[in-house]
């Protein structure tokens, strides 16, 4: 049975396309300003219901200089998020490849960005956020309050995107062996 180079390339491209599906990142809190209370609540897997008191089951603080830092389970080209925040404040979410240099991903506010028909009044609100898929594969995300009533909270965050393709060593070895085999077949055909 003869397998053409075109067939091998087509199968490889189909595999890459299947691997490029968006998935939800695993998120853990890795740091916060000292003034942030209950920082771990921001990524504990529990989403407070809309209108829940702003400090209930949430990381909370006073003052816009504070931040919460999250680490994703692997690098992602991010394209969406779901965030539960105190409804009347504005927050900036920034992302980083190295945990040092951050780039703004999106800015959101429960006051202005509530889903159509939502009437949560005071307390927390869950907001879906979509944005252009990032060119970089980020491993870290930071949230900071920009302005509002000086009482801020994050009840839960989740992020989705395409996981960066990092082949395992055995996959790399298999790909190199396959490339070597294709080279040997091509050389043998030329020799004929």
* 104 has pLDDT over 90: yes
Residue 191 domain flag: no
Query: Chain-wide mean pLDDT for the chain?
Result: 83
In 3D space, the residue among 98, 36, 69 whose CA is nearest the CA of residue 157 turns out to be 69
pLDDT digits (tens, 9 = 90+) for 5-61: 555 444 454 444 444 577 999 999 999 999 999 999 999 999 999 889 999 999 999
Residue 8 domain flag: no
Cα(49)–Cα(125) distance, rounded to whole angstroms? 7
Residue 16 domain flag: no
* 173 has pLDDT over 90: no
CATH number for the domain harbouring residue 140:
2.60.120.260
Residue 181 domain flag: no
Cβ 54 vs Cβ 86: under 8 Å: yes
Q: What percent of the chain has pLDDT over 90?
A: 61
Residue 82 domain flag: yes
Task: Give the residue-averaged pLDDT of 71-75.
Answer: 97
* 134 has pLDDT over 50: yes
Residue 192 domain flag: no
Total domain count, the chain: 1
* 142 has pLDDT over 60: yes
Q: Which pLDDT does position 9 carry in this prediction?
A: 46
Cβ 138 vs Cβ 75: under 8 Å: yes
DSSP E strands in 58-192: the ranges are 59-62, 67-86, 90-96, 103-109, 124-130, 138-147, 151-163
pTM across the whole model: 0.75
Domain that holds residue 47: 22-165
Residue 93 domain flag: yes
What tokens were used for 61? 């603080």
């Amino acid at each position: 049975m003869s397998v053409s180079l075109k067939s091998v390339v087509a199968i490889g491209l189909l595999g890459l396309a299947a691997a490029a599906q968006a998935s939800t990142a695993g998120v853990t809190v890795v740091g916060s300003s000292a003034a942030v209370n209950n920082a771990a609540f921001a990524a504990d897997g529990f989403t407070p219901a809309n209108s829940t008191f702003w400090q209930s089951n949430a990381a909370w603080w006073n003052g816009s200089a504070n931040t919460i830092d999250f680490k994703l389970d692997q690098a992602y080209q991010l394209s969406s998020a779901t965030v539960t925040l105190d409804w009347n404040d504005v927050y900036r979410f920034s992302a980083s490849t190295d945990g040092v240099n951050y780039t703004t991903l999106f800015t959101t506010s429960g006051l202005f960005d509530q889903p159509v028909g939502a009437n949560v009044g005071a307390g927390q609100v869950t907001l879906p956020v979509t944005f252009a898929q990032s060119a970089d594969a980020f491993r870290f995300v930071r949230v900071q309050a920009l302005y509002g009533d000086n009482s801020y909270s994050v009840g839960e965050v989740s992020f989705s995107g395409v996981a960066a393709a990092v082949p395992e060593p055995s996959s790399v070895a298999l790909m190199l062996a396959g490339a070597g085999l294709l080279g040997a077949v091509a050389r043998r055909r030329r020799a004929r």
